[in-house]
């Protein structure tokens, strides 16, 4: 003890500090934390990532789970498995109205779902044969989610420490056999890793989420083109499980969500509607969900590219009414040029659209404009014919006057022939003026009707 008192003071301070730290926060080799009150029991630290592996091996082991067997119904009954579905539309890339399907079978999937499949197929084929509709397409990228309850996948959450388990292999659990009935093309996203996951919650709830891109068929009616609205559907159907085994339901709340900054070049998404479309076939009744997307075509593009140029061509064709009737080359070249330009404009419009058997709104517009331009050229032909007829009559009258003057006294021939010739020469001018007034009034009336139609219709 005497030697202890003689130790240097700094060494005593050093030993005392390290001894206090060791006593206050001592971690044993077995992972126990002895900090604080020494009366507390040793609480080992748990690595829950390691526990996740144990839980997955336990609930998905070969002897405990079979992915071939569907989950039970509500409250463990033998009823159908209920699958709730919701969608998040990330983008709509294109809406094509100039690609007609070569076979009506490509559009049958959008028509046949109903109480009687045979009747619906007949109606669809009748529509196709009558030319009332054709099959366009649109491309969409979305996040697709499914939720269902599988009580076989319940597990201990360790007092809330383990909120859910995450899987990336969908084949390890039972999956609904859903497919998109009006799909033409589709693919999953695998950059950088596959964009898919499965979450298993402690109560047995399973959430499946995947990002996919689809090209879907969309029957369109172009009678009001380009003032039309189109309804494109997205249909999801069970392939093999009937409604006795599997039922699809829309998720409560917002089953369909659309990204806020959705931008479409030629259309506007006005609204969307969710509905059910269960189908009955000779093999049973199958659950079906659909969402209808209502698109309105943007008119500004067509106003600039079609309507304003057509109006300008019609107005240019009216310039010939103010040209002199004797300026034949100018009036002919102006009329023929505007007529050919209008015909080229019409053919270009029809080339960008599929051939349909009915008359479209744009056909009426271009037809009226083409009629005005052709009428202006026809008016010049009538004026030229009337002018030549007047000239011929004038020549004949002059010849007759000369013959009469030879047999008459000079005093008997006054101002009669000159007045007659003036009336004849003014007849073609009056025709020009009359046509000028009638064309302008007719065009004004037509534009007023068209404007009233737009206001009333839209």
Tell which of 270, 297, 324 closes a domain. 297
Q: Judge contact between 315 and 249, C-beta under 8 A.
A: no
User: Which pLDDT score, from 0 to 100, does residue 298 have?
Assistant: 92
CATH number at residue 166: 2.70.170.10
User: Which pLDDT score, from 0 to 100, does residue 184 have?
Assistant: 93
Kindly state whether residue 112 falls inside one of the protein's structural domains: no
Q: Which residues contact 306 (CB under 8 A, 6 or more apart)?
A: 226, 345, 349, 362, 365, 366
Residues 222 and 310 in one domain: no
Residues 89 and 208 in one domain: yes
Residue 113: name the closest of 280, 343, 242, 298 by CA.
280
pLDDT < 70: residue spans in the chain: 1-48, 99-133, 387-404, 406-458
Residues 262 and 306 in one domain: no
**Half-sphere exposure for 90 (CA within 13 Å, toward CB):** 9
State how far the Cα of 375 lies from the Cα of 369, in Å rounded to an integer.
10
Six-digit token string for 113? 């779902």
Kindly state whether residue 427 falls inside one of the protein's structural domains: no
Residues 157 and 293 in one domain: yes
Residues 175 and 270 in one domain: yes
Task: State whether residue 82 is helix, strand or coil.
Answer: strand
Kindly state whether residue 42 falls inside one of the protein's structural domains: no
DSSP label of 172: G
Strand 267-276 with 279-281, pairing: unpaired
Residue with tokens 């044969």: 129
Strand 267-276 with 256-258, pairing: unpaired
Which residue range forms the structural domain that includes residue 145? Answer: 52-97+135-297
State how far the Cα of 170 lies from the Cα of 199, in Å rounded to an integer.
10
Give, in order, the Cα–Cα distances in Å from 248 to each of 110, 177, 197, 370. Answer: 18, 11, 20, 54
- Classify the phi-psi angles of 131: left when phi > 0, otherwise alpha if psi is within -120 to 50, otherwise beta: left
Q: Judge contact between 165 and 55, C-beta under 8 A.
A: yes
- What Rg do the C-alpha atoms of the chain give, in angstroms? 42
Helix-helix angle 427-457:361-407, to 10 degrees: 170
Residues 305 and 193 in one domain: no
Strand partners, 81: 246
Kindly state whether residue 29 falls inside one of the protein's structural domains: no
State how far the Cα of 33 lies from the Cα of 47, in Å rounded to an integer.
14
Verify cis geometry, omega within 30 degrees of 0, for the bond prior to 226: yes
How wide is the angle at C-alpha 93 spanned by C-alphas 88 and 98, nearest 5°?
Answer: 130
Tell which of 264, 297, 330 closes a domain. 297
Residues 315 and 444 in one domain: yes
Residues 75 and 214 in one domain: yes
- Count CB neighbours of 60 within 10 A: 18
Residues 174 and 252 in one domain: yes
Kindly state whether residue 1 falls inside one of the protein's structural domains: no
State how many domains the chain has. Answer: 2
CATH number at residue 374: 1.20.58.390
Kindly state whether residue 438 falls inside one of the protein's structural domains: yes
Residues 377 and 278 in one domain: no
User: Which pLDDT score, from 0 to 100, does residue 112 have?
Assistant: 41
Residue with tokens 């695998």: 190
Tell which of 257, 280, 297 closes a domain. 297
Residues 221 and 265 in one domain: yes
Kindly state whether residue 17 falls inside one of the protein's structural domains: no
Give, in order, the Cα–Cα distances in Å from 210 to each of 123, 292, 345. Answer: 35, 21, 46
Q: What is the largest CA-CA distance in the chain?
A: 177
User: Which pLDDT score, from 0 to 100, does residue 176 have?
Assistant: 95
Residues 356 and 282 in one domain: no
State how far the Cα of 120 lies from the Cα of 183, in Å rounded to an integer.
19
Kindly state whether residue 66 falls inside one of the protein's structural domains: yes
User: Which pLDDT score, from 0 to 100, does residue 69 have?
Assistant: 92
């Amino acid at each position: 003890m005497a030697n202890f008192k003689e130790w240097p003071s700094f060494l005593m301070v050093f030993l005392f500090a390290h001894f206090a730290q060791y006593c206050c926060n001592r971690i044993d080799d077995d992972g126990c934390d002895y900090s604080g009150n020494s009366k507390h029991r040793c609480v080992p630290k748990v690595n829950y990532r390691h526990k996740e592996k144990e839980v997955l091996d336990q609930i998905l082991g070969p002897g405990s789970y079979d992915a071939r067997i569907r989950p039970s119904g509500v409250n463990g009954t033998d009823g159908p498995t209920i699958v709730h579905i919701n969608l998040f539309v990330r983008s709509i890339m294109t809406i094509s109205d100039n690609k007609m399907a070569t076979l009506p079978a490509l559009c049958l999937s959008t028509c046949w779902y109903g109480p009687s499949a045979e009747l619906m197929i007949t109606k669809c084929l009748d529509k196709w044969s009558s030319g009332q509709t054709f099959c366009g397409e649109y491309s969409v990228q979305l996040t697709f989610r499914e939720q269902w309850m599988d009580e076989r996948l319940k597990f201990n959450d360790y007092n809330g420490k383990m909120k859910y388990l995450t899987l990336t292999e969908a084949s390890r659990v039972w999956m609904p056999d859903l497919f998109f009935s009006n799909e033409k093309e589709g693919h999953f996203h695998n950059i950088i890793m596959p964009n898919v996951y499965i979450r298993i919650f402690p109560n047995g709830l399973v959430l499946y989420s995947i990002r996919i891109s689809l090209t879907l068929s969309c029957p369109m009616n172009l009678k009001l083109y380009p003032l039309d609205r189109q309804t494109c559907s997205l249909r999801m159907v069970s392939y093999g499980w009937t409604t006795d085994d599997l039922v699809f339901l829309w998720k409560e709340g917002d089953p369909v969500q659309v990204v806020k900054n959705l931008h479409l070049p030629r259309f506007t998404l006005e609204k969307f509607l969710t509905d059910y479309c269960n189908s009955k076939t000779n093999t049973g009744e199958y659950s079906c969900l659909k969402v209808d997307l209502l698109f309105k075509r943007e008119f500004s593009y067509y106003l600039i590219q079609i309507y304003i140029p057509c109006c300008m061509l019609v107005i240019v064709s009216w310039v010939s009414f103010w040209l002199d009737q004797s300026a034949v080359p100018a009036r002919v070249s102006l009329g023929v040029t505007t007529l050919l330009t209008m015909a080229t404009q019409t053919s270009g419009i029809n080339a960008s659209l599929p051939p349909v058997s009915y008359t479209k709104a744009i056909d009426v517009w271009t037809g009226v404009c083409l009629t005005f331009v052709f009428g202006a050229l026809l008016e010049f032909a009538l004026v030229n014919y009337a002018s030549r007829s007047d000239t011929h009559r004038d020549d004949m009258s002059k010849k007759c006057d000369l013959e009469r003057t030879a047999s008459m006294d000079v005093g008997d021939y006054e101002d009669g022939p000159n007045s007659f010739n003036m009336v004849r020469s003014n007849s073609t001018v009056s025709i020009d003026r009359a046509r000028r007034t009638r064309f302008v009034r007719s065009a004004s009336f037509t534009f007023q009707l068209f404007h009233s139609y737009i206001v009333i219709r839209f």
